[in-house]
């Protein structure tokens, strides 16, 4: 028995086509396969394919989806055309990214709550949910966690998870192979669309155009969309305005770097997960030294475990420090020194470092100096007195500077932009 053929028959019977129509467009059609909820058809006549795509594909998909109780896609090939790979990886339920193993702290509380709401269908007004933040802070984790809950609650849902980059590449391939309708069909059949690192589509006109239409189709059909990005929509400078306003119409949830308490909780949970017991002082050493990236925390614990288990080294603060140094050296910008920060601020404002440090209160140097203090405070583990030393000032001056910048950040989008740009510049050092 050829399942694909039977399914094609079923679809045609269900569609109530007149014999003339059926003869005109479907007489030459051949059922190729039925796999992963996709029915592949082939016709030697390009014109037939075009007509079917335009007029009959949607009703056919609809009938089949009703029949099967799950969404079915139909794709028509012509000539030697190969089927588009079913690239969008759907999420396997045993995925390791769940809400249960996500540690919540003040830095991610809102994003976590919004993700939970969406995952439990309470997110009607949270569409799209746009989660943004620096790398390594749990955006992909939350995205998968949503997918996993949805998969459990709605086994019939078609959940599409795709990276912004893959979405773009897939579209380019589809264009090259004149296969855009199939590409569209696939994404527009989604009940839940999860796009990771959407910043990759910014600046790519055709991809934005295509995504815009897919977005609207799903949005208007009441389907949930969740996006992640390394920056908020307003900072995606090459994003089309209409796209930006679509994103901003939903809920924007940012994830900040975790505070000390949360870092301790994450380290402790990860160590336990890895079956690796860490003394309290070692955990503290890690938390104090690696502030900006959860992925790095995890890497450090894994390395410590390996050194201990394979090399027989006892887990001491010294051993942890050497691992921390190794981890830091891989991407120095993620754990910048005050000097690195000073340099970045200096080149951003075009004010030499020695003037930032000088004992002068000219208008040109005050803001860069305060900004540098603020960023050292934010991105390093230096204490207020330590920062004071770097700048040749006392700790109350540093505190005042940090408060000043923090206030300015809250009041002006421009200051917020500048800070984000500076952080980005520093992290990419
Ligand atoms: P992003 O997508 O923001 O770059 P990921 O989601 O890939 O970051 O997170 C990096 C790693 O850190 C993942 O292994 C993830 O499980 C872990 N992680 C991030 N945040 C948390 C958290 N709050 N609790 C537990 N693990 C986390
Ligand atoms: Mg990610």
For 127-151, what is each residue's pLDDT tens digit? 999 999 988 999 999 999 999 999 9
- Flag whether pLDDT at 342 surpasses 90: yes
For residue 90, the model assigns a pLDDT of 52
For residue 101, the model assigns a pLDDT of 93
For residue 41, the model assigns a pLDDT of 92
Q: What is the whole-number distance in angstroms between the Cα of residue 133 and the centre of ligand 1?
A: 11
Short-list 367, 351, 360, CA closest to 393: 360
Q: What residues pair up with 255 in beta bridges, in sequence order? A: 133
pLDDT in tens, 35-67: 777 889 999 988 899 999 999 999 999 888 877
Q: Answer for the pair 129, 118: CB distance below 8 angstroms, yes or no.
A: yes
HSE on the CB side for 186, CA within 13 Å? Answer: 25
pTM of the predicted model as reported, rounded to 2 decimal places: 0.67
| Residue 294 CB–ligand 1 contact under 6 Å | yes
Rounded mean pLDDT of 92-104? 81
**What interhelical angle do 205-220 and 180-188 show, nearest 10?**
40
Pairing of strands 192-196, 129-133: unpaired
Phi, psi of 335 (to 5 degrees): -135, 70
Q: Answer for the pair 267, 301: CB distance below 8 angstroms, yes or no.
A: yes
* Whether the bond into 222 is cis, omega within 30 of 0: no
Neighbours of ion ligand 2 (CB under 5 A): 139-140
Q: Which residue has the higher pLDDT, 89 or 351?
A: 351
Report the nearest-CA residue for atom 9 of ligand 1.
138
| Residue 214 CB–ligand 1 contact under 6 Å | no
For residue 89, the model assigns a pLDDT of 45
Confidence of residue 126 (pLDDT cuts 50, 70, 90): very high
pLDDT in tens, 154-185: 988 889 999 998 898 898 888 888 888 888 88
For residue 93, the model assigns a pLDDT of 41
Residue 87 DSSP symbol: -
Mutating to test ligand 1, I would choose from 104, 112, 138 the residue with most ligand atoms within 8 A of its C-beta, which is: 138
Short-list 232, 227, 287, CA closest to 258: 287
């Amino acid at each position: 028995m050829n399942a694909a053929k039977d399914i094609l028959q079923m679809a045609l019977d269900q569609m109530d086509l007149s014999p003339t129509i059926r003869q005109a467009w479907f007489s030459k059609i051949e059922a190729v396969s039925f796999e992963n909820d996709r029915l592949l058809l082939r016709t030697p006549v390009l014109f037939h394919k075009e007509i079917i795509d335009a007029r009959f594909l949607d009703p056919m998909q609809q009938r089949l989806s009703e029949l099967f109780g799950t969404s079915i896609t139909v794709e028509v090939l012509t000539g030697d055309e190969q089927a588009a790979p079913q690239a969008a990886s759907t999420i396997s339920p045993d995925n390791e990214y769940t809400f249960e193993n996500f540690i919540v702290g003040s830095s991610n509380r809102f994003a976590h709550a919004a993700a939970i709401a969406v995952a439990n269908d309470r997110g009607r007004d949270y569409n799209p949910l746009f989660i943004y933040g620096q790398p390594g802070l749990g955006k992909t984790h939350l995205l998968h966690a949503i997918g996993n809950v949805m998969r459990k609650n709605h086994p019939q849902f078609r959940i599409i998870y795709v990276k912004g980059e893959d979405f773009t590449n897939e579209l380019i391939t589809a264009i090259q192979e004149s296969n855009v309708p199939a590409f569209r069909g696939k994404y527009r059949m989604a009940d839940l669309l999860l796009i990771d690192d959407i910043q990759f589509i910014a600046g790519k006109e055709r991809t934005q155009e295509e995504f815009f239409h897919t977005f609207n189709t799903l949005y208007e059909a009441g389907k949930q969309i969740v996006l992640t990005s390394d920056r908020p929509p307003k900072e995606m400078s090459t994003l089309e305005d209409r796209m930006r306003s679509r994103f901003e119409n939903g809920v924007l949830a940012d994830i900040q770097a975790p505070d000390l308490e949360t870092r301790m909780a994450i380290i402790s949970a990860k160590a336990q997960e890895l079956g690796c017991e860490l003394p309290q002082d070692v955990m503290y050493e890690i938390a104090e030294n690696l502030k900006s990236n959860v992925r790095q925390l995890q890497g450090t614990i894994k390395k410590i475990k390996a050194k201990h288990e394979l090399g027989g080294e006892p887990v001491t603060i010294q051993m942890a420090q050497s691992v921390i140094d190794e981890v830091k050296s891989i991407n120095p910008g993620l754990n910048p020194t005050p000097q690195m920060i000073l340099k970045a601020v200096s080149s951003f404002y075009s004010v030499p470092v020695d003037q930032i440090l000088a004992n002068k209160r000219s208008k040109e140097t005050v803001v860069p100096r305060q900004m540098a203090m603020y960023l050292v405070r934010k991105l390093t583990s230096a204490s207020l007195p330590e920062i004071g030393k770097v700048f040749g000032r006392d700790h109350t001056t540093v505190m005042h500077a940090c408060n000043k910048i923090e206030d300015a950040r809250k009041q002006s989008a421009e200051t917020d932009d500048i800070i984000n740009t500076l952080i980005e510049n520093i992290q990419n050092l």
